[in-house]
Structures are given as C-alpha cells and as structure tokens.
Structure 1
C-alpha cells in the first residue's frame, strides 16, 4: 500500500495541475467562433478576424457589441492615421503636389474621424422606436467615412506622384479603408438581423 501511494499522489497532483491550467486557458482564450462567423459577411475576412478577435471577451455573443467594437477599431485607426499624415505635412523637402495631397488627405481623414464618431454615438442612442432611422444614419456616415478615406488615397494617384510619401500614405490608407469596409459590412449585418427591434 505505501508503494501505491508513491505512484498515486504524484499522478493525482499532475491531474489537478492539468485541470487548473485547462481552466485558465479557457479564460485567457475565449471562444472566437462567433466573431469568425460574423466576419464571413465582410469583404476582408481575415483582417476582420485579426482586428476583432482580441476583443472576444468583451464581445462574447453580443451582435451590437461586435458592431460597436468594429466601428471603434475603425475610428482608432482613422485617428492614428490622421495624426501620422498631419505630422508628414510638417516635414521639410516635400514637393508641392505631395504637400497639397497630404493637406487634402488630412481634411478627408478628419471628416472620416467625425463621421465614425457620430456613427458610434448614434448607434448608442438607437431604441426600438427609432432603430431604422438611427441605423440608417450610421450606415450613411460609415459609408461617407469610407468615401473620404478613398478620396485621400486617390490624391496620391497618377504618374507624377511617387516616392516614399505616396507609398507610406497609400498603404496605410488602404489598410484603414479595409477596416472601415469591414465595419460597414457588420453594420449592415446587424441591421438585417434586427430590423424592427433592438437586440
């Protein structure tokens, strides 16, 4: 019997440690299937999942929370890019066309930031009675924000515009527009799922 205890207790201890680590893992890495399924409605599915999966613990299975987080991620990216481009305007050695394109881009990105901010606020105000109207506003504003982002990128198109400024800005604007496109798709998904009532 003493020999059995020598083998039994270490085995029991190992089992308890394994059970505890499994429990911690499930908390640290929440289920992301809900986000993965929602992202199938977007154009850039992998980017959608990458940008939202880290928020899985707060999103859970909440459609509205998922949509609001997607809008917030887009807004945060728009603010960051707006700051980046604003700083580029102040750099020396810019060509005249580069300077003008950057200034126009700053204006467009500031508009996009305002429109995304309005969208998040409007979605938070939506009730059962005014759901369709307020979500219509959200769809319009997010769509307009996406247009402004694309206008910013278009300012650097053409054969006469090249170099590091064009490459640095257009790549970042493209990334932002894809995030915003995904957010817009999730807004439409949310509206389609909850027409006529709040979740």
Structure 2
C-alpha cells in the first residue's frame, strides 16, 4: 500500500492555497459564503453533513466551486486517515475471531488505498489548466475509487457472521468517511459540469 510522503501532503495544502487564487476567484459574488456552501451542498447526498463540515472554511471557500471541492476533499482525507488509524487500532483488540480479524485487515488496506486516491485527487485538482478535461476526469475517477474502497471495507463486515462492538465501532467510523467522500464526489462533479459549460 503506497503512502504519500510529507512532500505530497505539503503539495495538497499548496494546491488548496493556489486554487483559491485561480480563475474561480472571478466567480466571487457579494452573497454570504455560507449561503454559497449551503446552496452547493444541496447537490450532495448528505447536505446537512456537507454544510456542517465545510462552513468552518467559508472564508477560504468564498464562492469558488473549485475551492469548495478542494476543501471537501481535504475533509475526506482527514476523516479517512483518522478512520484508518482507528481500524488499525481495532486490529489489536484481543479476542477477535478469525473472520473478524481478516475483515479488519482488509479494511485497513482499503482505507489506506482511499487515503492515497483522495490525496492524489486533491493534488490533481490543483493542476487544472489547458488539459482540464483530462485532469478533472482523473479526479472524478480517483474519488470514485476511494469511495468504492470505503464501501468495500463496510461490505466486509456485512451479514451476521461478524457482529459485536468492534464491527459497530468500525462501521460508525468508516460510514462517516463514506458520507463525506460521497459529498466530495458530488461537489467535484458539480464543479466539473459547471466548468465544462463555461468552457464550451
């Protein structure tokens, strides 16, 4: 499982900063940034969670759809890293049945892959330029892949064969990642659709 180094993480935050000063800044209006976030979050599957997670970054997001998507990805990365660490901790719980242990180990791998895909997506979203369609397609593919990995982790704990506190704790943590990642994908898709309209 590939792990991004400190340089890549710094690149993500640099991309966040750069994105706030791109052509999207020209779309800034006089309306309240929180109103913009609330309106944008209506396109997501979990709008209340979307507003809750992103409102704290209103001054950074302003009215930029690109910065909104970048921030949503950053939130997903943070949640995914936290969940990966939590699931790893659960793998050390005593008394795990063989099937439980295998499900936990598979989940750790899936969550690590999700972190990688989301991190790559954030970096790619900061590289938009003349090859917009190619870059944004990469972002959409990788965020979708990250979401699939998260859901695969959850599927590993499906059914009655695995039950108990470990399953409940992991499901709660990973479900939160699935929700914010679903929202991030929706915001990336909205941004992509808007840009394709503008560029055509």
TM-score, normalised to structure 2, is 0.81
SS of 1:195's partner is helix
Match of residue 178 from structure 1? 179
- Aligned residues of 2:33 and 2:63 also touching (Cα < 8 A): no
Q: Which runs of 4+ in 1 moved over 4 A?
A: none
Alignment of 1:111-190 (within 5 A): 111-127=113-129, 129-190=130-191
Query: 2:106: which partner in 1?
Result: 104
Is the 1:131–1:196 contact (alpha carbons within 8 Å) kept by the matching residues of 2? no
Q: After the TM superposition, which residues 35-50 of structure 1 pair with which residues of structure 2 at under 5 Å, given as runs?
A: 35-50=37-52
1:4-153 equivalences under 5 Å are 31-127=33-129, 129-153=130-154
Aligned residues, how many? 168
- Looking at structure 2, the residues matched to 146 and 31 of structure 1 have their Cα atoms a distance apart, in angstroms, of 27
Which structure 1 residue ranges, 5 or more long, are not aligned?
1-29
Q: Can you give the 5+ residue segments of structure 2 that lack an aligned partner in the other structure? A: 1-31
Q: 1:102 to 1:114 in 2, by over 3 A?
A: same
Which structure is larger by alpha-carbon Rg, 1 or 2? 1
How far off its partner does 1:91 sit? 2.2
RMSD: 1.3
**Separation in structure 2 between the aligned mates of residue 80 and residue 88 of structure 1, nearest angstrom:** 12
Per-residue deviation, 1:107 = 0.3
Please list the CA deviations of residues 51-96 of structure 1 after superposition, one character each: whole Å capped at 9, or x if unmatched: 1011111111111111100010001100000011111112222111
Partner in structure 2 of residue 192 of structure 1: 193
Tell me how far apart the structure 2 counterparts of residues 33 and 197 of structure 1 sit (CA, whole Å): 22
Q: Is residue 108–residue 149 contact of structure 1 (8 Å, CA) maintained in 2?
A: yes
Using structure 1 for the length normalisation, give the TM-score: 0.82
Q: Deviations over 1:22-43 (max 9, x none)?
A: xxxxxxxx64100000001101
